[in-house]
Amino acid sequence: MASPRWFWVSTASIGFLLVFVKFTDAGQAFYRMLVEPLMNSPFASVTVGGGGAVADPWDLLALLLAPIPIWIGTRYRAKGSATPHK
């Protein structure tokens, strides 16, 4: 079972990647490097919506939701640890 630290590290990593990709030139280049092969695939209309990651300051509001997966994960883990292991 995952430790509580795992929920903090994974949530912080996703938050960091959001800020990195949306608000830095290096992050934009990284995003294009990952998405470009998908844009050239036959499934481009399904997998990729547009041309790139748009730096929209309103996206930072998503970071306010970061405590939710931490809370759910640690709460679920606490309930799961009370059950006997098989």
Residue type (1 letter), 8: W
Tokens of 55: 């730096």
Q: What is the rounded distance in angstroms from the CA atom of residue 50 to the CA atom of residue 77?
A: 38
Give the containing element (helix H, strand E) for 58: none
Q: What is the rounded distance in angstroms from the CA atom of residue 21 to the CA atom of residue 30?
A: 7
Residue 57 has what pLDDT?
Answer: 83
Q: Where do we find the tokens 């606490």? A: 78
Residue 86 has what pLDDT?
Answer: 46
Mean pLDDT within 64-68: 89
Residue 20 has what pLDDT?
Answer: 93
